[in-house]
Every structure is written in C-alpha cells, then in structure tokens.
A and B are shown apart, each in its own frame.
Chain A
Amino acid sequence: MTIKMTDVWKTFGEGHTAVDALRDMNLVGTQGEFTVILGPSGSGKTTLLNLVGAIDDPTRGELLVNGHNLSALDVDQKVKFRRESVGFVFQFFNLIPTLTAAENVELVADLTLPNGAERAAVVLEQVGLGDRLHHFPGELSGGEQQRVALARALVKQPPILLCDEPTGELDFETGRMILSLLRRVSRETNQTVLLVTHNAAIGDMADRVLRLRSGVIVDDVSNSSPVDAEALTW
C-alpha cells in the first residue's frame, strides 16, 4: 500500500495562536517499507502519523493512500479505512483495563473478520503471549502490555502499521524485544510501517529514516542494509 503526501500542511489554532505542525510536506512511502521518523518534540512526527492513520485531516494539500484521497473520505469511510487498512501501536499501550489480553485483541479482530477469538489467540501466540491470554492488563508487565497492543494492531492484518513511540515507556531490553518483534512480523506480512521515535538508534533497523524539524522533512535517508533489532544499542 503506497502513501503519497503532496504539499501537505497541518495547522493547529487560528490567527496569532496558529502553529504549523507540518509545512508543505511531500512524501512517498512504498509497500513493505519500514520507515522510522525521528525528530525532537514538536517536530510534527505524531501529526504525520495521525494524518496517515486518518484520525486527523490535513489543513491543506493532498494525502493519498493507495490512490484514495483521505481528506475526501466522510466519517464512516474513515472508520472503514482505519478498520481495514491501519494498525496503531501507542506509547501508553491504551489497553482496555476490563478486558483480558485476548479480549483486547478479540475486540479489534471482530471488527474485520469472523472467529476473532481464535485469531486473537494465534496473534498473541506469535508475539509470545500464548500463556498470558487470560490475564488482564493490570496483571501484565509494560513489555507484555505493549506486545498485546502490537497483537491488537496486527490481528486485522492491516497493510499499514503506525507506531507512535512504541518503546517510549519500556526499558531497553523490552524495547529492543518489541522492535525485533515488529520488524519480524512486518517483514513476514509485507506491511508498511511508520514508526515515530525520539531515539535515533532505532533508525539503524529501518529501511528508511526521515528526520523532521519544525514540521519539515530535513533529512530522508534510505538504508540498504538495516541491522537486526537485537543489534541495536542506546
């Protein structure tokens, strides 16, 4: 699934308080590409992710995903797009505390295809949580919670995976383990991954690294020989 941004602006607020989070951004992402987006706070990383995930709209410009202009979609069409095409992994996991690991994944699995419970179990097995299916989020470690969140994103088999600081709340070892898992699964399923992080070291495992500053892409580097996540250090 290709992503194409043409002259995209995103402005928050109006008049004197207006802030341009993205400025005249042009970008093309290709199917199966693992892209890491780096930049300091306020550089527009998360905004970029939110636009691609159709949870926010550009102020100006055109954003095409697989040839579909996201700005032209109505509310229901955006819901359908998110449901079928996008998986989110958040920094703070955002699991439903009253649902077990399996149920958190099943809730999302049910949105697309039947047998959500079975598929949830399979995906949780893939992320190494086969023995934690019936644990509630409060009974899981941070790394385990993020793996559940990853499983929740993967269970729909979305062509695009959007990860916003997925290791921000995790210790080094756990973070590296999550990245490794992410890289493995995305390769296996040929998913397009956009991963936002402050951590420049993570760029070494990406096919492509974008650096943002003040809403502008200041660096766009392809990496022909990405390292394994296990080799990362920071």
Chain B
Amino acid sequence: MVKPLHHKLWRDVRRQRAQFIAITITIFLGVTIFGATYDSFRNLQASYAATATDFRFANLTTAGGDVATIATEAAATPGVESAEVRSVADIPFNVGGVKLLGRIIGVPAGEQPTVNQLSVLEGIYLAPGSGDVLVEKHMADHFDLSPGDLFDIRMSGRWQAVTVAGVVASPEYIWPARDRQELITSADNFGVIFAANAEVALATDGSPNEATIYFTGGGEDDALSNDLAAMARSHGAISTYTRAEQASNAGLTEDLKGFEEMAVFFPLMFLLAAAMAAYVMISRVVHSQRPQIGVLLANGFTRRQVRRHYLGYGLVPGLLGSIPGAVAGILLARLITEMYTGMLSIPVTLVQFYPATLIGAVLFGLVASLLAALAPALVASRVMPATAMRGETPSGGGRRSTVERLFPPIRRVPVGWRMAIRGVGRNPRRTVYTIVGVVLSLMLVLVSWGMIDTVQHLMDRQFVEIQQEDATVYFGEAAGAADVAALAEIDGVAAVEPALTLPVSLGSDGEHHYETALLVLADDTEMHRFLTTDGNWISLPRSGLVLGQATQNLLDVAVGSKVAMTIAGVGVVQEEIVAFVDEPLGTMAYMSRGRAESLTGDVLPATSALVTYEPGTDAAELRRTLTELPAVAAFEDANALYAVVQKYMVLFYGFVGIMLVFGAAMAFALIFNAMSVNIAERTREVATLLAVGTDRRSISRYIAAENLLVAALGIPIGLVVGYFAAKSALASFSSDLMALDLYIRPTTFALAAAAILLVALISQWPGLRAIRRINIPKIIKERSA
C-alpha cells in the first residue's frame, strides 16, 4: 500500500476510535472465548484420557452372575489387558454421628488393583491384614477425615470401627455419583471407601460380585465391549456398563460436551457480531469517502490499491482483537483447566499449549473482520471516479414506511415521529444488520438464561412436584412392615411409605438392554407423583411398569410394549410398559408394590422408607432421632440434596452470568456501531434542524426513537430464534442421566427484551452526545456531510 494511504487509514481509525474499539473488543471476546473454551476442552479431554490410562480405568464393568468366569474368559479374550473381580456393596457408614449409605469397594491389600487403580493423596495404601480402609477424597473432605481417624461401618449386621489408612482419588469417583440414576448426591448421604477384597466380600455373601476389565492400552473398543457384555450376560451378569456409561465418567463427559459446544457456539456469535459491526462501520466509511475514492482513482491509484486500503479497515481491528484475544484465551484456558481439575481432584492434570488453537483463534478473528471489510472494499474499488467526485446527492428516494401504508392513521402522528418511523427503512441493509445483531444478542442471553431457568425449573419439578417426601430413611437390612410402621410413631413424622429399590436390567429384545433401578412404591403412593411424557399427572398404576422417558429410545419401546426385566435373585419377569414419565434426574423404573409382589409371589421387604414431616418439625432433630433407630442405616434429607444441586448451580450461575455480561458487551458493541453510523449519516439533517430552531432534545428523541424501533423490530425475532437456539443447546446435553427440556420463564423473555432495549438506549448515548458538538455552520455548508 502506498505510504500516505497508511497514514489515512490510521487517522481514520483514530477519528472513529470508539467504533473501532467496540469492534476490536467484540473480536477480542470471541477469540478469547474460543481459545479459553477450546483449549480447556482439549486439556480436560487429555487429563481425563491420561487419568483413564494412568489409573487403568475399566473399559467394561459387569455386575452379578458368575464374575470369576466372566473375568477369566475376559482375560483370555484378545484385546483385553487385565480383568479382575472385586466385591462392591452399599452399606451404612456412621461418621461422627452422621449415618449415610456409603459404598465399600474391594481392592487387593498390599498392591494396587490391575484395573481402577487409586491415587493415594494422603497416608498410605492398604497394608495386608491391617483391616484399615482408604477413603475417597470427596468423603474425606466432607467429613474432614485424615489417616489415623476412625469411623463406623455396618458389615454383616453389626457396626464396626475402621481406621483410615489413606485418602485416595479414584477414576470411578472423580464425580461422586452413586450410579447413573443418582448422579447428584449429597456428601451427607453418599461416600466411598476401599477395603481389602476379603473384608468387603463379607458384605456380599462371601464372594465377589463385579468383574472389571481393562483393554490393551486402555483404548475404547465398542465391538470388544459388546462381545464381552454379551459373554457376561450369558454368565448371569445383570448389569454391564462401559467406561463411557460409568456414572462419574458419563457426568464428566456431559460436562466436557458443554465445553466443546461453547467452544464453537459462543465464539461464532461474537465473531459474527463483530463482523456485522465492522461491515456497518466500514460501509459507512466507504460511503462517506466516495469523493476521496474518486480522487484517488482519478489520480492513478489502481482499484486493487483502493480495495487493499479498505480491507485494512477490517485488518486493523482483526489483528488488534485476535492476537491479544488468542493469547488471553490460552492463558485463561490454563487457569480454567487448573481450577476445574483442582476442584474435581482429577488425578492427572494436563495443561498443554496447542499451537493450532493459537493459529486457529487468530485466523478466526482475522477472517471474520476481513470478510466484513470485503464487501465495502469491493464497493470502494468499483466506484466510478467521475460520479464519485461530484459528491453525494443528499436527497435519496424517500417513501412512506410500510407501517404507514398498512396503518394509515400513523400518518397523522407528528411529523417528527413520522421521520423516525421512516428512518427505520431508510437504509434497509443496515436495519437488517442491526436486527440481526439484536437477534444474536438475544440468542446469547436466552441460551445462557434459558439454562438457568431450565435447571431451576427442573429441580423444582424433581424436588417439589415429583418427589413429595421430605426424607428417605434407608434400612441396614431389608425391613418388614413393622419396621416401616415404627417410623410412623416417631414425633414429627407425618406419613411413611415403604420403598424397595432393586437393580434391574431391562431388555426389549435380544439387542437393547438398559441397566437401571426399579423403585417399588406403595400402591397408592402419595410420596411420588408421575408426570407422563404427554404432560399429565397420574397416580402409580396398579399394574405394569412406568419407565423414564429416555428408555423409549434406548430400548426402542412404546406404551404397551413388554420388556424383560432381570432382577437379581428373582430372575427374569415380563412386564408391560403402561406409561413413560418425564423426570429430570435419572431414568428409573417404577412399579406398585402389589404388582411386584404378585409377580414374585412373595411379600417384599423395604430397603427404605419415604417420610414426610409434620409441619414445624425440626428436621435436624428428627434426623438424629430416626438415625438412632437400630434398623435405620442412613437418612437422606430431600432438602439437603436440593441444597447440593443449588450449590452446584452457583458455579453454573457464575458461568452464565459471565456469558450474560459478554452478551451485553456484544450487544452494546454491535448496537453502538450501528447507532453511531446511523447518527453520523444524518449529521447534515441534524445540523439543518438545529439551524432552523429545533432543540437538541427533540432531535435526540427522534433519533433515539428510530434506533429503538429498529432494535424493537429485532426483539420478537430474537426471542423466537433465541428460544430455539436454547432448546437446541440444551437438547445436546440431555441424556438418560438428565433430561433437559427447555423451560424459559415468561419474565425472562420480558427481561431479556427490556435489557436489549436498555443496551440499545445506552449505546446511543455517545452518538447523541455528539449532536451537542455538531459544527452547524460547517456541516450545513458541506455538499456531502
């Protein structure tokens, strides 16, 4: 480029620095978010993968059946590196007076298992014959347990004290989930400990009940998993799950998916917004500099030189935004990864530098800004010098607005307001871009806000509308009707119902299987309400099976289909599906006690009891009273679980809050540029109106009204597009672990719309202030202003 043109470019940039800064910041934000989220995603993916390999995370786990044979056959299968058996049991713990239903997992004493190894964070690994236990980190943190501490566990019908040998992290419990149906647990209700296999076997009738299989090199192999799962089922396994299906890993994978989605969705919106803002501004520059372009061309500048010069207007914010943005993104990714892995105690944290992300981020920013500059640059290079040098004809073709044609009474509003209404259609392309900007901003706001509303709504549905119990009381051993009735006698207990939870495997044909829990509830249960997938609240049907909606696709079944239900210790029973329910957390199976007893031909015990409190009951006191009962092993307060969810939500709110701030910044940058151009374009009109005696406030009102009208046009579109974008974003997070059906409160729509209008109003402020500085004599004398 010829040197004086460089000067011109920089001086133009300086003259319109506010607009260039807005574009640069938007590009910076887009590139930063891309770099931060994409690298965080890659770092976390690498950390999880390294953890899985370093700690030999099982590729397949089978439960039930002849686990010794399953492990032996698996070990002999090509592609399998290790297979071993272990005992796993859910038993009552008593830690400092808090009773909970914990999990004890058998590991070899004196040496790490060959599958699912542990990372010893404090203390030492199990010494042979010590009788000590290793406590999983989440439980140790919650109860402040350290090596040497004692607590009680209930094994073989009696409480016994155990000593903590060490605190460990396990690849199976990075996210402390009991199972896929109970992805969110309170630390007061669930904890994991590891003890010598022989000791744990006491809780599982003396023999191991799980086989864990690790493939050669630790890599996933779906075909091998399927073959081994089929083999395991043929040996009586009632449940098999792959590494991907394992509860903790599945939860983390969902989370990772969120990072991956964000790494594309949010940056794309920011860069699109930046590109539009740049396009609007550079178009205006080209339009206002037509006479200059004419002079350049007339004096021998080539069209290519002119094109390159105006591409520079995109290159400047592109470079200034994307290079620091990429660096900031990479640094932020490092911070996010370390915070995240630290918070979850992921044993292996890999923070790497990915040059491709740096290059990609810079390229994204540059491409967006150069593409934005391309169209105006082409327009500039195609200007006919003779026409351009004659200057702009100020009076372009005006016409009545569509709204005036459709609603003629509008023609009677004061002429100043008519001017504002017609201004909307004055530059259709810019109006469209401003509308698209508003739409993008609303999308960003609604996707973020929709997540908050949805999760809040679903938690309310789960914990307020569906689950009616105040607490679940777990029995140490299977309890009878008398044990349940005894609970009802306790002061403060309003009602009690027995519940029986059984691990089951559902199969619709030879191919589809789904492992879940069957919850057998009282025939006329009032503790659990059922919302069917068609939106009706029903009572628990006396016969038939009620399934979570995710099973419809997982098992390829419908209402009326029969499923084969494999129940440990009972065998296989065929049962008809009578309804699918829409429950946010987990995918359970439900059956009435009467039906379950008629199918099994036995009076069934209860593994737990669902309890409601009398009004005004002291929940903590009742918990103490109930957990002191010998039959009671653990107590789970529904509110405590709700509180756990709310605690996790705080992080979520923080993240979404940042997105909202970014969204507002993006909306501001975009609308600010469009509005600034809008105001700049009518400088001469403003000067004329001022000269003839119109006061500045009236002019500001007309211009603000016009700009707000444009913004308002984008709002309904933005709300609709935002709604579907949020729906699509949430759908990608939905699984059998959690059903995220979008719910946005009506007030959210109203507040989002009001926020955008507010941003539109505020973003005009600098432009409207500039009206005060208009040099009336100069402007009205100019041919082209």
Contacts and interface: CB of A to CB of B under 8 A. Distances in A.
Given A56-B777, A164-B781, A92 B415 contact: no
A99 B693 contact: no
Contacts of A131: none
A99 B395 contact: no
A233 interface: no
Contacts of B783: 92
Contacts of A46: 777, 781
Which of A76, A79, A86, A106 counts the most chain B CB atoms within 10 A? A79
A83 B396 contact: no
B533 interface: no
A139 B419 contact: no
B688 interface: yes
Contacts of A79: 690, 693-696
A138 B395 contact: yes
Given A108-B692, A136-B399, 9 more contacts: A79-B690, A83-B693, A90-B781, A93-B395, A99-B398, A103-B415, A107-B416, A110-B416, A136-B397
Contacts of A91: 781
Given A96-B685, A99-B419, A103-B418, A108 B693 contact: yes
B416 A100 contact: no
Contacts of B695: 76, 79
Contacts of B415: 99, 103, 106-107, 110, 116-117
B395 A137 contact: yes
Contact of A55 (B394, B396, B694, B777): B777
A204 interface: no
A92 B394 contact: yes
B697 to A, nearest CB: 10
A95 B395 contact: yes
Given A55-B691, A106-B415, A100 B398 contact: yes
Contacts of B680: none
When A and B form their complex, which 9 residue pairs have the shortest distance between CB atoms, in order from nearest?
A83-B693, A137-B395, A136-B398, A138-B397, A98-B422, A82-B693, A94-B688, A50-B777, A55-B776
B684 A94 contact: yes
A98 B693 contact: no
B691 A82 contact: yes
Given A99-B415, A99-B422, A103-B415, A94 B398 contact: no
Which of B415, B418, B685, B693 counts the most chain A CB atoms within 10 A? B693
B224 interface: no
B510 interface: no
B114 to A, nearest CB: 80
Contacts of B64: none
B780 interface: yes
A143 to B, nearest CB: 13
B419 A97 contact: no
Interface string B426-453: 1000000000000000000000000000
A176 interface: no
A203 interface: no
Interface of A: 46-47, 50, 53, 55-56, 76, 79-84, 86-88, 90-100, 103, 106-108, 110-111, 116-117, 136-140, 145, 152-153, 156, 164
Interface residues of B, number: 32
Contacts of B419: 96, 98-99, 103, 107
Given A79-B695, A152-B692, A90 B780 contact: yes
A94 B394 contact: yes
A138 B396 contact: yes
Given A88-B692, A95-B395, A138-B396, A110 B414 contact: yes
A25 to B, nearest CB: 16
B329 interface: no
Contacts of A97: 394-398, 426
B414 A98 contact: no
B423 interface: yes
A80 B783 CA distance: 27
A113 B684 CA distance: 25
B768 to A, nearest CB: 16
27 contacts: A46-B777, A55-B691, A79-B693, A83-B692, A83-B694, A86-B693, A87-B692, A88-B688, A88-B780, A90-B688, A90-B780, A90-B781, A92-B782, A94-B780, A97-B396, A97-B398, A98-B426, A99-B419, A103-B415, A107-B419, A110-B416, A116-B415, A117-B415, A137-B394, A138-B397, A139-B397, A156-B692
Nearest to A139: B397
B39 to A, nearest CB: 50
Contacts of B426: 97-98
A83 B416 CA distance: 16
A84 B692 CA distance: 9
Nearest to A103: B415
A94 B690 CA distance: 12
B690 A55 contact: yes
B68 to A, nearest CB: 86
B776 A94 contact: no
B67 to A, nearest CB: 82
B692 A82 contact: yes
A70 to B, nearest CB: 14
A106 B413 CA distance: 12
Contact of B694 (A94, A111, A145): A111
Contacts of A83: 692-694
Contacts of B418: 99, 103
Nearest to A134: B400
Contact of A93 (B394, B696, B781): B394
Contacts of A87: 692
Nearest to B684: A94
A79 B397 CA distance: 30
Interface in B534-563: none
A84 B395 contact: no
